[in-house]
Structure 1
Amino acid sequence: MTDERQLLIVEDDEGFARTLKRSFERRGYSVLSADSLESVMAVLADNRPGFAVVDLKLGPQSGLACVQALHAHDPAMLIVVLTGFASIATAVEAIKLGATNYLAKPSNTDDIEAAFARSGGDPAAPLAPRPTSIKTLEWEHIHEVLKDSEFNISEAARRLGMHRRTLARKLAKRQVG
């Protein structure tokens, strides 16, 4: 089935997925749901959604594999990645793999629809007014190492040369969403 207003939500948090689904249905979308790469592939066997919202962290899996599969299935699909673990490294990877946009949680339906509309990019986007702080650089480095260690906190802490509890405290302090 090909439907211009068909949306696939790839989210492992059932409550959040249900809330997004209802919100998009009220806006006239036909909504499909998946919670893993395997379930995405099953949905794509019978459907051709024009839009997708993908959570970056799907339990032990990375949502980036879902982005890659969705883009390979239909390069014209508009894909927005949602994450509570925003970093420049994962944003770049998501865009390289075919995502249209990348949003940090908490994001609502208005934010996601606006991200679908901004799929072309803006060459006139303002440059950052000040250089990145040391804390932000540390945060981005931590998330890059987390991504490289497949979100295994113990392994990431070992690679960063810090105690696992210290890393967990740092992550809890700056949690987005």
Structure 2
Amino acid sequence: MIVHSKEYKVRNLHYKVRSAQSEDAQALSELRLQVDGETENLDRVKGEAYINGEGFKDIIKTDSESLNNIFLVAEVSGTLVGFSRCEGNTLKRSSHKVEFGVCVLMDYWGYGIGKNFLKECVSWADANNIKKITLNVLETNEKAINLYKKYGFKIEGILQKDKLLSDGNYYNTLLMGRLNQL
């Protein structure tokens, strides 16, 4: 689904949150690769499950045409610095929910980009009769967990020793969900 773009200014950083467009595909491929190398908060290490520009074009097309998918990007001076998706499915028993994911370049952490992605996705879900948003978050990502709780997400489960990080230790993944009025 396509949404209207919004402009934000946080501590002298101007950025726009808008729907992804096919012209963004190659930049999204490069952005995802870079973010995967900057943080262990995501599922992948740099280069894993690589999606090239053509793959992103297909995702953007699908998400733009779907009523229960949304693909947002954050743009600073014409450069993409983050993206977020809510992905639903067409199975009747699960068509009421979407899964939220987000990634932002480390240089742009602390400017509310992730928060504004979340706010836009929650608003979109509420306006489009999506009853549940789910997400997975690493137990050590306390800032994200607190943000999700602020927007009504609750911990619904824990995947024990789910991720092996570079320090050689295993960490839990929290399963979180936010219910709209059912």
Per the TM superposition, whether the score is higher than 0.5 is no
More helix by share: 1
Between structure 1 and structure 2, the one with the greater Rg is: 1
Task: Compute the TM-score of the two structures, normalised by the length of structure 1.
Answer: 0.29
More strand by share: 2
Task: Compute the TM-score of the two structures, normalised by the length of structure 2.
Answer: 0.29
